[in-house]
Chains A and B, each alone.
Chain A
C-alpha cells in the first residue's frame, strides 16, 4: 500500500510546523518534501490545512486485564488508544492477579498479539501481588521484555525493600516507576487537602504526602544507582522537587498527566466523581506550576494514567467511588484545545513529550516524519471538533470529565506501518 499525504503541515519534536507532503510506501516513509508527485497507484490523501504528526505513545495506562474486564480490556483499551492517536501503550500491573510474574506477562502479551492492532507493552510489579513484602518474579518478566517495574496504584511502603529491588534490577537494565504517597498521610485518597476537602467534609491527601514519597524514592534510586521515573506529579512543590534533583544530575524522569494540567479541586463541585483520581487534583496554582514545568522541560513526558471504571462504580458516593478517569481518547485533543489553541505551547512539545520521549524511556526509537523511517503517524485536523459521546469512545468505560463535551481538534487518521488503523471523514 502506498499513500501520499498532500498539502499538510508536518510536526516534529523541534521547531515549528513545516509545510510538506509525505509519501509512504509499504509502511515506510520514502519521501518528505514540498509538492511531491504521486507515483502511479498511490492513494493521495488531501491533508490541506491539517497536521501530519508522529503517532503518540502513552506510557501509563490501566487496561484492567486480567481480572477487571468489566472496566476495560486489551481489545477495547487498544482501540481507545487508536481513537486518540496513540499507537503504543505501557500497561500498569495493578490487575487481578497483578502482573508480577512471567506467567501473567506471557499470557497478556499473547492476548495482546491476538486482539490489539497496536503494540502493547507492560510494566511489571516490584513486589509480589503489589503487597509490598516480597519481590516479584523480576528476571522472568525481564526475559519477556519488561523494563519498567512499578507497584503503581500504590507506593512501595518499605524503603529498604524498594532500595533492594532497585539494586537488584538495575544491573538487568530495568528502571522503576513510582506512584508517590505516604499512606499514613493520605487518608481515603479522595481529594486534595485544602479548601475543597474542608467544604466537602472529606479528609484530604496533602500534597506533602506525595512530595515526601517522591523525594524518598529519588534519594533511594540515587543511592542504589537506579533510574526512577516519577509518575503523575500533581503539585508545584513536587515539580520543584524533580527540578532540584535533575539539576544535581540524578537519573530521574517524570511525567505529568493532562488532567493535572487542566483541572483542579474546584472542578469537583458537588462530589463529581469524574474529578476523583489519585494523586488528586490540586489547586489552580498547581495547574500553572505544572504547565510551567512542562514547558521548561522538568517533565520528560506526558502520560494519561488512563483509568477506566464502570458507570456503576463511578455513580457511587465520592469516598467510595474508585480513583481514576479515562484519558487515552481525550488526551491529545484536550491538550490541543486547552494549550495549543491559546498558544501555551506548540506541536513540538506535544510530539516531544507525548510521542518521542515516552518511547525513548521504554527503549524504543522515536517515530519522526522523516525519510527512511517506519510510518507511525497521525493526521490531525486543527479546525475539526471532537465530541466525547459514549458512542464516540471505544473504551469500555466513559468516566471522563469530557463526557459529552465538544473540544477543538480531531484525530482524523492513524497510520501504523502498512495499516490505516483509523480514518474519519
Chain B
C-alpha cells in the first residue's frame, strides 16, 4: 500500500523496505539510457524546503524529481535562522496555496516534517530533521550495501562517530537492523547513547571494534556545529582515537572491508585521504544511488490519498 509521507525508517514495515530497495534498481537502470528522464510525475510539483544548508541531498532530490519529470520549485528559505514554530502553520498554508504535490523538507528541528505532514495533503518527504531521521539516506545506504552484499543479513556494519547527534546513524542503523544486519556503534563515550536501540554492539575502542570483524565501516561526518557543549577535546584527537588513520586503513585494506560515508568527507578527521581512492570505498556509489533511491520514494508515495479511495480501472 502506498503511503502519503516518508518521514522515518522506524515506521516502515519490512515489506515496505524490501519493496523500496527492490524499486531502486530499475530506477538506477534508467541512468544508462540516452534519455534519463521518465514521465511518471509529469505535471506534479515538488517543493524543496531546505532550512539547513545541504548541497548533496538538495541536488540529489532535485535530480530525482526532474528525472521523474516533476516540476521542482526550490522555496528560498533562510538557512541560518530556523523557522519559528509560530510560522510552521503559515508556511504550510503557503505551500498548500502553491498546490505542491510533494514537499521535501530539511530542518534542524526534530519532528518538524511530522508536524507539517499532519497539516497538509501533500506528500512530505523528510530530507533530514534535527538529530531524528534521514530516511532517504538510510535507503540509499541499504541499497548500496545490497549491491555489494545481495543478502545482507548477518553482515556486520560498524558505524563510527557522533552517534548521539546523527540522524544518519539513527535511520541507517534502524534500516540495517530491519534487514538483519549486525550493527556496531563506535564513538566517544559522550556521543554514543547509553540507552539506545536494542541489538547494537557498542565499542569504545577502534582496535576492539575491528577485531569484531566488520564487513563495512560506516564513518559519520563530524559536525562540531551540532555540539552546544564540547563532547571531545578536538579534531586531531578525534582522528587519532576514532578516525581511519593510515595505520587502521592498512588493516581495513588488508581485510577488504568496505568503507561508507554519507558525505561530505572531512579528510584528516573521519579518514585519512588515502581512503578516498580505496577500491572498496562505496562513497561515490552512495551518491549515485541516492538519486535512484529518492526516485523510488517519490514514485512510491501518493499525495493526498487516504485508504479506501476508489481505484480506477486500468488497461
| A→B interface (CB under 8 Å) | 194-195, 198-203, 270-271, 312, 315-321
Contact = CB atoms under 8 A, between A and B. Distances in A.
Given A201-B167, A270-B114, A271-B114, A320 B85 contact: yes
B230 interface: no
B7 to A, nearest CB: 8
16 contacts: A195-B196, A195-B197, A198-B195, A199-B10, A200-B111, A201-B131, A201-B132, A201-B167, A202-B111, A271-B114, A271-B115, A315-B115, A315-B119, A316-B86, A317-B110, A318-B115
A70 B84 CA distance: 19
Contact of A198 (B85, B111, B130, B196): B196
Nearest to A316: B85
Please indicate which of the listed interface residues A198, A199, A201, A203 has the most CB atoms of chain B within 10 Å of its own CB. A201
Contacts of B195: 194-195, 198
B133 A317 contact: no
B131 A199 contact: no
Contact of B197 (A199, A201, A270, A312): A199
B299 to A, nearest CB: 24
A321 B109 CA distance: 11
A195 B131 CA distance: 14
A278 B89 CA distance: 24
B114 A319 contact: no
A233 B193 CA distance: 25
Given A200-B110, A271-B115, A316-B88, 11 more contacts: A198-B193, A201-B129, A201-B170, A202-B132, A271-B111, A315-B118, A317-B85, A318-B110, A320-B85, A320-B88, A320-B109
Contact of B110 (A194, A202, A316, A321): A202
A248 B167 CA distance: 47
B115 A202 contact: no
Contacts of A320: 84-86, 88, 109
Interface in B170-202: 170, 193, 195-197
Interface bin, chain B: 20 to 34
Given A199-B170, A201-B132, A318 B193 contact: no
Contacts of A312: 89
B295 interface: no
Given A312-B89, A319-B110, A198 B197 contact: yes
A188 B119 CA distance: 24
B314 interface: no
A interface majority secondary structure: loop
Nearest to B194: A194
A381 B19 CA distance: 53
A315 B116 CA distance: 9
Nearest to B116: A317
A319 B109 CA distance: 7
B118 to A, nearest CB: 8
Contacts of B86: 316, 320
B112 interface: yes
Nearest to A312: B89
B11 interface: yes
A375 to B, nearest CB: 46
Contacts of B167: 201
A202 B114 contact: no
A72 to B, nearest CB: 19
Contacts of A201: 110-111, 129-133, 167, 170
Contacts of A198: 164, 170, 193, 195-197
Contact of B115 (A199, A200, A203, A316): A316
A278 B38 CA distance: 51
A316 B118 CA distance: 10
Nearest to A195: B195
Contacts of B132: 200-202
A315 B85 CA distance: 9
A315 B89 CA distance: 8
Contacts of B115: 271, 315-318
